[in-house]
Amino acid sequence: MEAFRLAWLGRKNGRLKLISDAWLKVAPIEAKRLIGQRFNALKVSIEAALSEAENSQVWNLLKSDFTAAALDVTLPGTLRRPGVEHPLVKTMAEIVGVFGRMGYSVGLGPEVETDFYNFESLNFPPNHPARDTQDTLVIADQDNKPLRDRLLMRTHTSPVQIRSMIEQEPPLRLVVPGKVYRNEAEDATHLARFQQVEGLCVDSNITFSDLKGTLDHAMKALFGSSVKTRFFPSFFPFTEPSADMQISCIFCGGKGCRKCKHSGWIELLGCGMVDPAVFQAVDRKRVELGRAPAYDTARISGFAFGMGVERIAMMRYGVSSVGLFYTADMRFLEQFA
């Protein structure tokens, strides 16, 4: 194409230049008009041919093929890949974040607890089956200690609620993420250790409808504003009334699908109003430690809730086996990038 351009339009030896020199410039005055018109027509048609060729796609492709420094834009980009947040850590942070925006401060506590903080203060009767070594992982050599001082792996993060209430007076809003342990046979959905997020709200005049409203708001923040919640009576030693909360299925919107076992609902957490016996245990301990009682059950009430992080993460990301969260298999983790 460049050769064609030079041949016709070249400034020194282009044919148009030669034609112009040989004919147009020397033409008699009366013929100049006609020759000029023909000369211009020829020039326009040459330029048109050139411009058409230049714009044609074939030419563009050819041109890029022949450009030495051209890049293959379809090759993958190179980069030092950043690390990937752990899906459980990320899910936990999101849950904690939702409650943080609702005024809840984060509370943390030890993973090895005493019977007092894990069971006694939470209104578990002395011979409750949860205390059995078949259900709870215990530290060795505890038999010669009084029951309440025996060390065990905490079975829930609720002891942190107790510790916080012993430290602080109401009002209190607390969200407690952490690892918990059960002596359980492990399968695709259960592990002996798992991550939990619990919450506690204590003040004067906290009601069951406040519990419902708070959790409904939190679930909408976590799963989208169209999610609905419903509550069923349940039983936990440390709350009364106690409830199980379900959310409308986030996959089918409540119509029923395989993930919700065609019920339209997914069970998500346990909750309830703090049992007065828990407040009484807290105040007894406060007095024992030389503090003033602060949780008068005639004036103070509260609610608590707890959810398993694995379950929520499995549901969200479609993880079929809970064990995957703990294998550190890069092929699994990198999918969360």
Shortest Å distance, C-beta 199 to Zn ion: 26
Could you count the other beta carbons within 10 Å of the beta carbon of residue 194? 19
Interacting residue with other proteins among 42, 151, 221, 252 (CB under 8 A): 151
Shortest Å distance, C-beta 81 to other proteins: 6
Could you say whether residue 103 binds other proteins (CB under 8 A)?
Answer: yes
Interacting residue with other proteins among 301, 313, 314, 324 (CB under 8 A): 301
Nearer to other proteins, 46 or 214 (CB): 214
Could you say whether residue 123 binds other proteins (CB under 8 A)?
Answer: no
Task: Please give the distance of CA 116 from its chain centroid, rounded to a whole number.
Answer: 35
- Report the amino acid identity of residue 316: R
Give the CA-trace dihedral at 52, 58, 61, 66, to 10 degrees.
-80
Return the one option of Zn ion, other proteins, none that residue 227 interacts with (CB less than 5 to 8 A, by type).
none
Strand 229-236 and strand 239-248: the pairing is antiparallel
From CA 7, how far away is CA 13, in angstroms rounded? Answer: 7
Q: Tell me, what DSSP letter sits at residue 129?
A: G
From CA 50, how far away is CA 53, in angstroms rounded? Answer: 5
Place of tokens 């406060």: 286
Q: Identify which of 206, 211, 202, 242 has the alpha carbon closest to the alpha carbon of residue 229.
A: 211
Return the one option of other proteins, Zn ion, none that residue 82 interacts with (CB less than 5 to 8 A, by type).
other proteins
Shortest Å distance, C-beta 247 to Zn ion: 11
Q: For the segment 42-61, give every residue that binds other proteins (CB under 8 A).
A: none
Could you say whether residue 279 binds other proteins (CB under 8 A)?
Answer: no
Nearer to Zn ion, 109 or 264 (CB): 264
Place of tokens 């050599």: 141
Burial group, residue 244, by CB count within 10 angstroms (0-12, 13-18, 19+): middle
- Is cis: bond before 241, omega within 30 of 0? yes
Could you say whether residue 209 binds other proteins (CB under 8 A)?
Answer: yes
Shortest Å distance, C-beta 259 to other proteins: 18
Could you say whether residue 197 binds other proteins (CB under 8 A)?
Answer: no
Interacting residue with other proteins among 49, 137, 257, 319 (CB under 8 A): 137
- Report the amino acid identity of residue 251: F
Nearer to Zn ion, 176 or 245 (CB): 245
Could you say whether residue 82 binds other proteins (CB under 8 A)?
Answer: yes
Nearer to Zn ion, 157 or 248 (CB): 248
Could you say whether residue 208 binds other proteins (CB under 8 A)?
Answer: yes
